[in-house]
Chains A and B, each alone.
Chain A
Amino acid sequence: MRKWMLRLGPLDEMFYILIGALALFLGVGAVYLNWQKAQQADLLARQNRRAVSLIRQFELSLAEAQSGHRGFLLTGEAEFLQPFSRAMESLDGQLILLREMGAARGPIGARLPQIEQLARQKMEELSVSAQAAWLGEREFAAGLVMQGRQMSTTEKLRDAMAELELSTLNEGERLNQTTLSSMKMAALLAVICCLGLFILFAVETQRTAARRRAAEHASAVKSAFLASMSHELRTPLNAVIGYSQMLQEEAETDNRTSDYQDLQKIESAGKHLLELINSILEMSKIEAGKVEVHASPFQVPDLVSEVVELVRPMAAKNGNTLDIVIGPGVTRMYSDVVKIRQCLLNLLSNASKFTQKGKVTLRVERVIEGQRTFLRFDVMDSGPGIPAEEQELLFEPFHQLESTPVRGKGQGTGLGLAITRRLTRMLGGDTYVQSEMGLGSTFTLSLPEELTLGALHAAPPLGPSDKPTVLVIDDDTAIHGLVRRLFEKHPVEVAVARNGEEGIRMARLLNPRVITLDVVMEGADGWEILRRLKGDPQLARIPVILLSILDTHGDPRGFLADEVFTKPVDVDRLSSAILRHAASGRAHSALIVDDSPDARVMLKRQLQNLGWTLYEAADGAEALEKCEEVQPGVVVLDLMMPNVDGFEFLTRLRSTDRGRETPVLVVTAMDLDPVQRQRLSQQAAAVVHKGALRGNDLIAQVLATLE
């Protein structure tokens, strides 16, 4: 089974899907027709059984009438008249019933007029002769009987009735045959349906397996490539660094100062290259989810002094002082000490590198937030500072500051901060920066004091960010700023690339929800980038919004894009389009739970742009029913409601199988106390304040809950 399935090509696959679908379609259609036919046959058979029983009753009544009639004629006793008239009445009723049945049924209907005529004739004979006898005209009555016998009405009637009974029975037999063959047919059709379903199922299983194999294969190829690339690069580097060190020793012995200095430069360039290789390898391992967390208890002051001693020579080289401030209560930590050491080293060496004749301070503080305790490591420098628009860029791979004086001097790999942020997120924390031009910068590592399983699961296992990312590929920095501003208050991350190549690289790395692409960029053909984005299996499903200074509507090359905007763009429309595309395919419906009809209307209006099905509920009880019924992609929940309130709703929803994973965004006007906030943080994806929602805010929040 598996073998033939593995050999299927894409064309064969389509063929099997067609066959499967066709079999299923024909099967179901035929089952329906067959079922109808069987129903009809069953109805006819029931009518026939009734007809036969009527016919038999009729014959019985006729015999009774005749025997009563005979008795009366022979004896002249009135008591024989009673069964006679009773039988005559029944005959009349039975004739009416037969006629009714005959009107509905062909075979009975065809014979019925003749039977009825004979029956009426017979009944007439019987009643006339009985009347004559009653009036004492026995001779006349006997004459009539004789005459009737000559006409042999009774025999004719009996024959006709027998014939009718026989034909009805025959028809019944035929109907039984039909039902039987229908049943055989049904069994056959069921087999065909099953076969169709099986083919479809097999093809789908094969497709899923193929996709999984392709992904596994890609991952394995990537790992193998990285390992071998790392090996191939290290081997020649070993010679470069080794020889230059050896020659340095010789030059030093022979007092050849200028040679010694040049050799030092070769060595340092070699070491920088090595650092780069190590960083790329590490970044790739993080991206591939191959970095494991090993938590153990350790003393924070020990770690701090160890790291500071390592960085001290570097700080001294640039004439910087290096201070440590350890706050009260900072002692033990339970986390991955190797990763924290690496992050601290990175931040401290950056600060020492980019600050000249200044001050670098490492401050450690213990911060309690709700029920969790964090350790905050602030690395502060008195360096040049970082412009606001470049601060977030720092954490993107391969971004170094445009404005830094050391750019291009081989002082960094451009990966250090990106790695630091990802590592701290793996440990349940984060890395961020605060800086003002001319006043220096502060880089902060915020990490849970105790690394719990919950903190680990909260951290994204792979993937660069836990927020939906929008990637802007544009050489126009005004557009970068514009898109950043659109989402600055939203839980949406904006990454920018200045050219197409960088854009494709970043798209692979960041896996953004949406890409905006300028098609008229300097030095790159945006159309070509669009073609490459849509031709790359990893990237093809990411929606692309084209932005162009030229009117490109109707340009056939634009058909690959998901939406097209002409600059200058209408910012509201652009932000709506970005959010709509970012949400596409993530969910298809939302349930709005609020006791105020006005609030529901307002929330609905805000979510309309998503193009989803929007359900409503006026309280928690109704919302639970709706959740069970429609299983919404997201629930937007008010807290203060009659009957079952928002808290109760969440508790009940989370205890159901289907509702356990449903993302819930709480929109409330309540001021929450710490206990309530704690409760919600465990059960809801996010909490936003009702008054704070403007424009596309709600959509952005809903989008973030889907991550």
Chain B
Amino acid sequence: MPTVLLVEDNEMNRDMLLRRLQRKGFDVLTANDGEEALRMTRQHLPAVVLMDMSLPVLDGWEATRRLKADPSTRHIPVIALTAHALPAERDRAIEAGCCAFETKPIDFPKLLAVMEAAQK
């Protein structure tokens, strides 16, 4: 099963998504902030990154931009997960380099489908 990096600063949401993804058989790594996300991605080169956008230390937009600027991580798809529901937020995420955008509350079956599509 592929490795997924889940970047989320809200403990409950991180724990919830971690467990649901694990139940589906994914190897899940977690990061609490943007800096940690960069470090973990470079170290483990996961198949997909699930990125919350409002993060401490380094926000999700900047973290995604840096991942996309780095030749070693550029190929890894980043899916934005955010509680910002306005259409402008989607554009912002896509502009930063995300390949997809899912709003919270997460529609889990849809997220799985998006993750699968992103890896192809």
Contacts and interface: CB of A to CB of B under 8 A. Distances in A.
A231 B52 CA distance: 12
A226 to B, nearest CB: 9
Nearest to B20: A246
A243 B106 CA distance: 11
B85 A235 contact: no
A353 interface: no
A70 interface: no
B13 A239 contact: yes
A232 B103 CA distance: 13
Interface centre among A230, A235, A238, A246 (most CB of B within 10 A): A238
Interface string B87-104: 000000000000000011
B105 A242 contact: yes
A237 B13 CA distance: 10
B10 A235 contact: yes
B108 A235 contact: no
A607 interface: no
B86 interface: yes
A278 interface: yes
B17 interface: yes
Given A239-B10, A242-B16, A242-B17, A270 B105 contact: yes
Interface string A197-235: 000000000000000000000000000000100111011
A99 to B, nearest CB: 95
A277 B76 CA distance: 34
B104 A237 contact: yes
B12 interface: yes
Interface string A230-274: 111011111111110110010000000000000000000011001
A433 B65 CA distance: 51
Interface in B11-37: 12-13, 16-17, 19-20, 23
Contact of A246 (B19, B83, B86, B103): B19
B84 interface: yes
A560 interface: no
Contact-size category for A: 20 to 34
Nearest to B16: A242
Contacts of A227: 84, 86
A240 B106 CA distance: 11
A281 interface: yes
Contacts, number: 56
Contacts of B105: 234, 237-238, 240-242, 270-271, 274
A239 B54 CA distance: 16
Contact of B104 (A235, A249, A271): A235
Nearest to B19: A246
Interface centre among A232, A243, A278 (most CB of B within 10 A): A243
Contacts of A232: 83
B102 to A, nearest CB: 10
Contact of B83 (A230, A249, A270, A271): A230
Nearest to B10: A235
Contact of A242 (B83, B103, B108): B108
Nearest to A226: B86
Contacts of A242: 13, 16-17, 20, 105-106, 108
Contact of A238 (B13, B19, B23, B86): B13
A434 B17 CA distance: 47
A246 B16 contact: yes
Interface residues of B, number: 18
Nearest to A236: B12
Interface string B39-77: 000000000000000100000000000000000000000
Nearest to B109: A245
Contacts of B10: 235, 239
A288 to B, nearest CB: 12
Nearest to B14: A239
B104 to A, nearest CB: 4
A276 to B, nearest CB: 13
A249 B16 CA distance: 13
Nearest to A290: B86
B80 to A, nearest CB: 14
A242 B20 CA distance: 8
B89 to A, nearest CB: 9
A235 B103 contact: no
A249 B85 contact: no
A241 B83 CA distance: 13
Given A231-B54, A245-B108, A249-B23, A239 B12 contact: yes
Contact of A234 (B12, B103, B108): B103
Contacts of A243: 12, 16
Given A239-B13, A242-B16, A243-B16, A234 B106 contact: no
Nearest to A244: B16
A468 to B, nearest CB: 33
Interface in A458-514: none
B20 A231 contact: no
A246 B106 CA distance: 12
A238 B84 contact: no
Contacts of B54: 231
Interface in A542-583: none
Interface centre among A227, A235, A271, A274 (most CB of B within 10 A): A235
Contacts of A234: 83, 85, 103-105
Contacts of B19: 246
A235 B83 contact: yes
A629 B53 CA distance: 63
A241 B105 CA distance: 7
Contacts of A231: 54, 83-85
Nearest to A242: B16
Contacts of A246: 16, 19-20, 23
A243 B17 CA distance: 8
Contacts of B106: 238, 242
A238 B20 contact: no
Contacts of B23: 246, 249
Given A231-B54, A246-B16, A246-B23, A238 B104 contact: yes
Nearest to A241: B105
Contact of A239 (B16, B84, B108): B16
Contacts of B16: 238-239, 242-243, 246
Interface centre among B16, B83, B103, B105 (most CB of A within 10 A): B105
Given A234-B104, A238-B83, A243-B16, 13 more contacts: A227-B84, A231-B54, A231-B85, A234-B83, A234-B85, A237-B104, A237-B105, A238-B105, A240-B105, A242-B17, A242-B106, A249-B23, A274-B105
Q: Which 10 A-B pairs have the closest CB atoms?
A: A234-B83, A238-B104, A238-B105, A239-B12, A242-B16, A241-B105, A231-B83, A235-B83, A234-B104, A246-B20
23 contacts: A227-B86, A230-B83, A230-B86, A231-B85, A232-B83, A234-B104, A235-B10, A235-B13, A238-B104, A238-B105, A239-B12, A239-B13, A240-B105, A241-B105, A242-B17, A242-B105, A242-B106, A243-B16, A246-B20, A246-B23, A249-B23, A271-B105, A274-B105
Interface of A: 227, 230-232, 234-243, 245-246, 249, 270-271, 274, 278, 281
Interface of B: 10, 12-13, 16-17, 19-20, 23, 54, 83-86, 103-106, 108
